Chain A
Amino acid sequence: MKPLHELGVRELANALAARQTSSVEVTEHLLARLQAQASLGVLLASDKEVSLAHARAADARRARGETGPLLGVPLAHKDIFVTREMPSTAGSRMLEGYASPFDATVVANLAKAGAVMLGKLNCDEFAMGSSNQNSAYGPVRNPWDPTRVPGGSSGGSAAAVAARLMPAATGSDTGGSIRQPASFTGVNGIKPTYGVCSRYGMVAFASSLDQAGPLARSAQDCALLLSAMSGFDERDSTSAQRAPQDFHAAMLAARDGASAAQPLRGLRVGLPREFFPAALAADVAGAVRAALHDFERLGATLLDVSLPRTELSIPVYYIIAPAEASSNLSRYDGVRYGHRAAKHEDLQDMYRKSRSEGFGAEVKRRIMIGTYVLSHGYYDAYYLQAQKLRRMIADDFQACFQVCDVIAGPVAPTVAWKLGAQGEDPVADYLADIFTLPASLAGLPGMSIPAGAGEGGMPVGLQLVANYFQEVRLLHVAHAFQQATDWHARVPPGY
């Protein structure tokens, strides 16, 4: 049998079912590996006793005759999800050591399916960032090149999966925080339609944009994870009231007109011209176009489409998200939980110092922007205008989906940049989100799949966006591509 860390979720499930290994064995193996690769910086919390207890419980369930695609499969959770059994920090000093009395719904769903919790994964503070350099607990390194960022905000999740420290991980995506790190580290990541996964227990950043999703090394694995993670939750008023879906089975189901050689026959792939600007790095453009050429070989038809307000999605997002965040983060006041300043003179001083000490620079920046754009006199010009443009952006997508089935393009304008490179100019970071923001604003499902290699051998991801509740279409396309290519199987050297 292959070394345990080389097995993806489905392979591991099969091995466990065939009694070729046990959950305890896999868990111990991966915990050791995580420890050995501590320099990547992916883990913020781990507890061997807790993990082994989960593993033993899963093995016991299996002994009692239970089966399931995630039973006994170890994974870790982005530290944006609260968990009872390990501290939850959201990458912030504000929540150092915070012990949640409840589990996030997504965490509970996976536990119910038998998944084993290996630990909590590093992320940008309160999910704000695109490089995992905004974590209060140190950066995460890209396993492909430890001098480069893994992307963010789910940098820990992406790096952990890419380095094969675990077969899958949970992440969250508000403006691209699953898709972009997936692209930078050569793994698959999917942000489902807004409302598909419950937000209960996910530390809120921007409520109308946040979505949970899986990262894994194949579309199939993503489908298995998503099936378990998703579903209506009565504790979340924005949870979509839809019947539970088996994404994996649906993904594998035959499509009209498809054949083994041409699995994408009949699929119309729209390429927005705004996603292929001159500023797109040549290596990324090359890799993406080559992957699209593969799509054609598999039977897809490529067409030119337009998302004319793509550039505007940057100011629109960077007004709406900070606005919601500024309000969502008001609860961190040092009164009931979290960091409280040790020395303070009165209540106002306590608020000021606790928040100043507890929040990092980027979080403070966004709170300031958010407070400003909501303030009296500016609300109409900024916040309201942004929400109107948001609808226009969503309408633009609908116009595209009249003529195509999925939209495709790059995930980011470049491959992963060097650690410390864009630190002085956060606005440059914002501009790099240009391709992922539009789908976030519209609430559409988007997926990043490994599609090629760029400068320095760094991974390049291809983004696919489908219409509302059409995650299956994304998974199907990704799966077909992965049957015919092996970008997703590339492993960073040494891992």
Chain B
Amino acid sequence: MGRTPLIRGHEVVIGIETHVQLATRSKIFSGASTAFGAEPNRQACAVDLALPGTLPVLNRAAVECAIRFGLAVNANVAPLSIFARKNYFYPDLPKGYQISQYETPVVQGGALQFAWQDGLRTVQLTRAHLEEDAGKSLHESFAGQTAIDLNRAGTPLLEIVTEPDMRSSSEAAAYARALHSLVVWLGICDGNMQEGSFRCDANVSVRRPGAPYGTRREIKNLNSFKFLQQAIDFEVEWQIDLIEDGGHIQQATVLFNAVTGETRSMRSKEDAHDYRYFPDPDLPPLSIGPEWIARVRAGMPELPHAMSERFQQKYGLSADIAAALTQSKAFAAYFEVAAQTSAQPKLAANWLMGEVSRRLNQQDMDIESCSLSATQLASMLARIADGSLSNNAARQVFDALWAEPNREVDSLIDSMGLRQVDSTDELVRIVDVVLADNEKSIAEFRAGKDKALNALVGQVMKASRGKADPARISELLRARLA
């Protein structure tokens, strides 16, 4: 593995904690809905509001999501795990404690592998645990006051913690993207970062190579990969500046200001907050037996890595291309339909990674909203394969199809007059006519002047009004003149 370059002589050490909102219908400990966008506090039931006398009851689906994640990263799914109370006061935390997991989380260990810098990188995971989300504080709506909406309180979260394995902000961003893809792929999270479904905290420290770990500061609530990278970059420079000025890093929680690009220590938080964790007496230990794990395992989708391997074997694709095609389940599914329907996997890969992706990016769309279906694309690919379409013509057909995705492909090709003449009698006839008219060129070719063939090819192209594939013409001529 290549060494990441130092920054001003310092090695950067990064660990990431990600809060993944699980895509369940109801909350982790109550039956209120988790749907986004409801009016304030209309999806906060008595349990979510911590009204006197209310008690938590755990949502099975949240546990299933955790198990699925654990299996996907080859972690241990704990047979017995314990919910603990994390005690602190904050207006968006109704009980004055968060139900989380402390000493025995549901998922232990595991690793995430992803493509990075022309290779594969593995980041070790420490753990993943279930917990409940807090509500939302709105600081700007009312002068001098903060408004609290508890609709989000109680939404299930899976907190995924890495070892401090990353050594650069770009690596951290790559990890975050890979984790994002995975949780969406598994169907456990909708991945909507604007809505707060996927939030990263970065623990950042620096050290001289070989020295022990430096004190880390935690950058909280980064909800875009770009901000994650920017925030870490700024923080690293800030820490190095402080150290070089003779200062010492104090453990702190910091926020990133996207406008200024700076990180700043939070005023109100005590840094070494004692959360007084203890096992929640309202929730007996969670038991996950081998039968449950086996059931979840049997229902798992094919994972990106395994699918990528399969694409390489089955379709003869390179590792890079296979990895790119398995960027999302939907993308891979599109590819497979196109590849299998057209029987042209390499062509399908090229067009998907090329023209299709380009257009999707331009229009800020994802493959799910692509109006050109995989089967339609496959029809076009088949025509390229059988020679009916030259590459040039194909691009024009693609443009037309993108605009009118439901047109019947063959009739579209014909209406555009782009059907290439190929190994039909028509082409042979044209070749014979041209040969008959060009004895000089034939003689020159037979005398060893290969260039004479080009002139003949040009003649055939002219005669067929550019609809024949030059390579095929060349083949036919050589065959005729042999």
Contact = CB atoms under 8 A, between A and B. Distances in A.
B403 interface: no
18 contacts: A82-B51, A90-B52, A201-B54, A207-B281, A237-B55, A238-B284, A324-B281, A327-B87, A327-B276, A330-B87, A331-B50, A333-B91, A335-B148, A336-B50, A336-B51, A376-B274, A379-B278, A383-B278
B52 A100 contact: yes
A207 B54 contact: no
A330 B278 contact: no
B234 to A, nearest CB: 29
Interface in A350-388: 351, 371, 374-376, 379, 383
A81 B53 CA distance: 8
A371 B56 contact: no
A95 B278 contact: no
Given A237-B58, A331-B95, A336-B94, A100 B53 contact: yes
A65 B73 CA distance: 63
Interface residues of B, number: 29
A273 interface: no
A237 B53 contact: no
A379 B284 CA distance: 20
B95 A330 contact: yes
Given A101-B51, A375-B276, A235 B57 contact: yes
B46 interface: yes
A115 interface: no
A203 B52 contact: yes
Interface string A80-113: 0110000010100001001011101000000000
Interface string A324-345: 1001011101011100000000
Contact of B97 (A100, A202, A330, A351): A330
Interface of B: 46, 49-58, 85, 87, 89, 91, 94-97, 146, 148, 150, 274, 276, 278, 281-284
Given A324-B281, A375-B274, A376-B276, A203 B96 contact: no
A204 interface: yes
A327 B99 CA distance: 11
Q: What's the dominant secondary structure at chain B's contact region? A: loop
Interface in A420-454: none
A102 B56 CA distance: 16
Interface string A150-176: 000000000000000000000000000
Contacts of A201: 53-54
Nearest to A239: B55
Interface string A283-294: 000000000000
Contacts of B46: 101-102
Contacts of B54: 200-201
B209 to A, nearest CB: 33
Q: Most A CB atoms within 10 A — which of B55, B58, B95, B146?
A: B55
Contact of A82 (B53, B57, B96): B53
B91 A335 contact: yes
Q: How large is the interface on A (under 10, 10 to 19, 20 to 34, 35 or more residues)?
A: 35 or more
A90 B150 CA distance: 25
A82 B51 CA distance: 10
Top 3 nearest A-B pairs (CB, nearest first) are A330-B96, A207-B281, A208-B281
Contact of A236 (B50, B55, B58, B148): B55
Contact of B96 (A95, A323, A327): A327
B187 to A, nearest CB: 27
Contacts of A235: 55, 57
B478 to A, nearest CB: 81
B96 A374 contact: no
B53 A104 contact: yes
A379 B278 CA distance: 9
A347 interface: yes
A162 B32 CA distance: 43
A374 B276 contact: yes
A199 interface: yes
Contacts of A25: none
